[in-house]
Structure 1
């Protein structure tokens, strides 16, 4: 089995702080990801009080930075995964 190449990062925003958490992601996390030569793709998703970030690396994974604790209801969770294929591009469905 090959090593993990994808990191999933999930944070629950403190009450009423999701917009600020998204702002932190836009101004701090995204630039950090863009400067890393080993990052091949990243996506950010939000729903209700959550922010989820999926990052694909060339090989291996690196933990993502911590968001400011004042913006979080609890510490963010991170899980490394190994990509296992994928479906056709959305445009071909």
Structure 2
């Protein structure tokens, strides 16, 4: 089974580039099958990692950035990949 973990944060206004750099620099305790980092308006950053694991497996995730960098708590979601 393939599981996708999504991590999304919104930076304090004007600090989107700093949040993006922070997220890209974070190393995980294990290597995912794939990792993508995206950004969106309003200084939002999204990181998606794909894992060969059961849905409820313990998997490494990005931590919370410092509260001076983000405007709200990080949002996290877990999804199971389904066939096309």
TM range (shorter): 0.7 to 0.9
* In 2: Cα distance, 1:24 partner to 1:85 partner: 33
Question: Number of matched residues?
Answer: 79
Secondary structure of the 1:7 match is strand
* CA-to-aligned-CA distance 1:2-49 (integer Å, 9 cap, x gap): 6x711011101111110110111122x2xx13x514x11000000111
Return the structure number with greater strand share: 2
The residue number in structure 2 matching 1:89 is none
* In 1: Cα distance, 2:80 partner to 2:58 partner: 10
In structure 2, the gaps of 5 or more residues are none
When normalised by structure 1's length, the TM-score is 0.74
In structure 1, the gaps of 5 or more residues are 87-93
C-alpha RMSD of the superposition: 1.9
Return the structure number with greater helix share: 1
